[in-house]
Protein backbone atom coordinates (compact mmCIF):
# COMPACT_ATOMS: atom_id res chain seq x y z
CA UNK A 1 0.00 0.00 0.00
CA UNK A 2 1.39 3.40 -0.99
CA UNK A 3 1.53 6.04 1.72
CA UNK A 4 2.71 8.94 -0.45
CA UNK A 5 0.91 12.14 0.53
CA UNK A 6 -0.69 14.50 -2.01
CA UNK A 7 2.23 16.93 -2.22
CA UNK A 8 4.72 14.07 -2.85
CA UNK A 9 2.43 12.62 -5.53
CA UNK A 10 2.14 16.02 -7.18
CA UNK A 11 5.92 16.50 -7.05
CA UNK A 12 6.52 13.12 -8.73
CA UNK A 13 4.08 14.05 -11.50
CA UNK A 14 5.49 17.58 -11.95
CA UNK A 15 9.04 16.26 -12.39
CA UNK A 16 8.36 14.18 -15.51
CA UNK A 17 7.63 15.14 -19.11
CA UNK A 18 7.15 13.24 -22.35
CA UNK A 19 10.84 13.84 -23.14
CA UNK A 20 11.63 11.37 -20.34
CA UNK A 21 9.92 8.62 -22.36
CA UNK A 22 11.98 7.02 -25.11
CA UNK A 23 12.31 4.12 -27.49
CA UNK A 24 14.90 1.59 -26.35
CA UNK A 25 16.30 -0.79 -28.94
CA UNK A 26 17.27 -4.15 -27.50
CA UNK A 27 19.97 -6.39 -28.94
CA UNK A 28 18.64 -8.70 -31.62
CA UNK A 29 20.56 -11.93 -32.01
CA UNK A 30 19.95 -13.18 -35.53
CA UNK A 31 20.11 -16.90 -36.21
CA UNK A 32 19.14 -18.88 -39.28
CA UNK A 33 16.48 -20.65 -37.22
CA UNK A 34 15.00 -17.46 -35.68
CA UNK A 35 15.92 -14.31 -33.79
CA UNK A 36 16.30 -13.90 -30.05
CA UNK A 37 16.05 -10.79 -27.88
CA UNK A 38 16.66 -10.87 -24.13
CA UNK A 39 15.89 -8.43 -21.32
CA UNK A 40 17.91 -8.70 -18.11
CA UNK A 41 17.12 -6.93 -14.83
CA UNK A 42 19.05 -3.69 -14.48
CA UNK A 43 20.93 -4.12 -17.77
CA UNK A 44 18.80 -3.04 -20.75
CA UNK A 45 16.24 -1.13 -18.69
CA UNK A 46 16.71 1.51 -15.97
CA UNK A 47 14.74 -0.63 -13.48
CA UNK A 48 14.41 -4.18 -12.24
CA UNK A 49 11.35 -5.99 -13.59
CA UNK A 50 8.84 -6.82 -10.84
CA UNK A 51 5.79 -7.54 -13.00
CA UNK A 52 5.18 -8.75 -16.55
CA UNK A 53 1.82 -8.73 -18.30
CA UNK A 54 0.55 -8.85 -21.85
CA UNK A 55 -2.49 -7.54 -23.69
CA UNK A 56 -3.98 -9.37 -26.67
CA UNK A 57 -7.25 -9.91 -28.57
CA UNK A 58 -8.00 -6.18 -28.36
CA UNK A 59 -11.18 -5.50 -30.37
CA UNK A 60 -10.91 -3.12 -33.31
CA UNK A 61 -11.19 0.51 -32.21
CA UNK A 62 -10.67 -0.28 -28.52
CA UNK A 63 -8.16 1.57 -26.35
CA UNK A 64 -6.13 0.34 -23.40
CA UNK A 65 -4.20 2.23 -20.76
CA UNK A 66 -5.78 5.59 -20.04
CA UNK A 67 -3.87 6.18 -16.81
CA UNK A 68 -0.59 7.28 -15.24
CA UNK A 69 1.43 5.89 -12.36
CA UNK A 70 2.88 7.56 -9.28
CA UNK A 71 5.98 5.35 -9.05
CA UNK A 72 5.86 2.55 -11.64
CA UNK A 73 7.99 2.60 -14.79
CA UNK A 74 6.84 0.50 -17.74
CA UNK A 75 8.58 -0.79 -20.85
CA UNK A 76 6.00 -1.52 -23.55
CA UNK A 77 6.81 -3.80 -26.51
CA UNK A 78 4.81 -4.94 -29.55
CA UNK A 79 5.73 -8.61 -29.43
CA UNK A 80 3.50 -9.25 -32.47
CA UNK A 81 1.69 -6.88 -34.79
CA UNK A 82 1.54 -3.18 -34.07
CA UNK A 83 -0.20 -0.52 -31.99
CA UNK A 84 0.25 3.12 -31.04
CA UNK A 85 1.14 4.48 -27.61
CA UNK A 86 0.33 8.11 -26.91
CA UNK A 87 2.21 9.66 -24.01
CA UNK A 88 0.91 12.87 -22.44
CA UNK A 89 2.45 15.08 -19.75
CA UNK A 90 -0.51 17.47 -19.55
CA UNK A 91 1.13 20.00 -21.86
CA UNK A 92 2.41 17.92 -24.76
CA UNK A 93 1.48 14.62 -26.38
CA UNK A 94 3.47 12.32 -28.62
CA UNK A 95 2.40 9.10 -30.33
CA UNK A 96 4.81 6.23 -30.92
CA UNK A 97 4.00 3.35 -33.25
CA UNK A 98 5.39 0.11 -31.85
CA UNK A 99 5.84 -2.69 -34.40
CA UNK A 100 9.22 -4.34 -33.75
CA UNK A 101 9.69 -6.98 -31.03
CA UNK A 102 13.24 -5.76 -30.32
CA UNK A 103 12.16 -2.16 -29.56
CA UNK A 104 10.00 -0.83 -26.79
CA UNK A 105 8.83 2.39 -25.24
CA UNK A 106 10.00 3.36 -21.77
CA UNK A 107 7.18 5.20 -19.95
CA UNK A 108 8.16 6.91 -16.71
CA UNK A 109 5.91 7.70 -13.71
CA UNK A 110 3.73 10.77 -14.03
CA UNK A 111 2.98 10.28 -17.74
CA UNK A 112 -0.52 9.53 -19.03
CA UNK A 113 -0.47 6.71 -21.59
CA UNK A 114 -3.08 5.42 -24.00
CA UNK A 115 -2.66 2.42 -26.29
CA UNK A 116 -4.74 2.32 -29.47
CA UNK A 117 -4.85 1.22 -33.13
CA UNK A 118 -4.08 -2.42 -32.37
CA UNK A 119 -3.54 -4.47 -35.51
CA UNK A 120 -5.26 -7.83 -35.80
CA UNK A 121 -3.39 -10.44 -33.77
CA UNK A 122 -1.15 -7.93 -32.01
CA UNK A 123 0.34 -8.71 -28.61
CA UNK A 124 1.54 -5.99 -26.23
CA UNK A 125 4.07 -6.99 -23.59
CA UNK A 126 4.60 -4.69 -20.61
CA UNK A 127 7.52 -5.00 -18.20
CA UNK A 128 6.90 -3.04 -15.00
CA UNK A 129 9.13 -1.83 -12.19
CA UNK A 130 6.52 -2.54 -9.48
CA UNK A 131 3.95 -5.16 -8.62
CA UNK A 132 0.32 -4.23 -9.24
CA UNK A 133 -0.98 -1.71 -6.69
CA UNK A 134 -4.25 0.07 -7.46
CA UNK A 135 -3.11 3.03 -5.33
CA UNK A 136 -0.25 3.66 -7.78
CA UNK A 137 -2.72 4.46 -10.59
CA UNK A 138 -4.20 7.82 -11.57
CA UNK A 139 -7.20 6.88 -13.69
CA UNK A 140 -8.96 10.26 -13.87
CA UNK A 141 -7.50 12.67 -16.44
CA UNK A 142 -8.64 15.77 -14.52
CA UNK A 143 -6.89 14.47 -11.39
CA UNK A 144 -3.80 13.81 -13.52
CA UNK A 145 -3.83 17.42 -14.76
CA UNK A 146 -4.21 18.65 -11.19
CA UNK A 147 -1.19 16.58 -10.11
CA UNK A 148 0.79 17.99 -13.04
CA UNK A 149 -0.14 21.51 -11.89
CA UNK A 150 -2.23 22.26 -14.99
CA UNK A 151 -5.62 22.88 -13.37
CA UNK A 152 -8.59 20.57 -13.35
CA UNK A 153 -10.08 20.96 -16.83
CA UNK A 154 -9.29 18.39 -19.47
CA UNK A 155 -8.36 19.80 -22.90
Quick check: is 67 catalytic? Answer: yes
Nearest of 142, 154, 121, 151 to residue 68 by alpha carbon: 142
Q: Which of 13, 29, 30, 67 is catalytic?
A: 67
CA distance 120 to 56: 9
Measured between alpha carbons, how far is residue 30 from residues 33, 35, 39, 41, 81 in Å? Answer: 8, 5, 16, 22, 19
CA distance 14 to 49: 24
CA distance 35 to 133: 34
Catalytic residues: 67
Amino acid sequence: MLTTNFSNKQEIHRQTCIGDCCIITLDKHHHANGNLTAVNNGVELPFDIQRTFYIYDVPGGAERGGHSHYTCHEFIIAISGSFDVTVDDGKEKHTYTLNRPFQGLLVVPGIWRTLQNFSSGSVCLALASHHFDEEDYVRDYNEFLKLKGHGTDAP
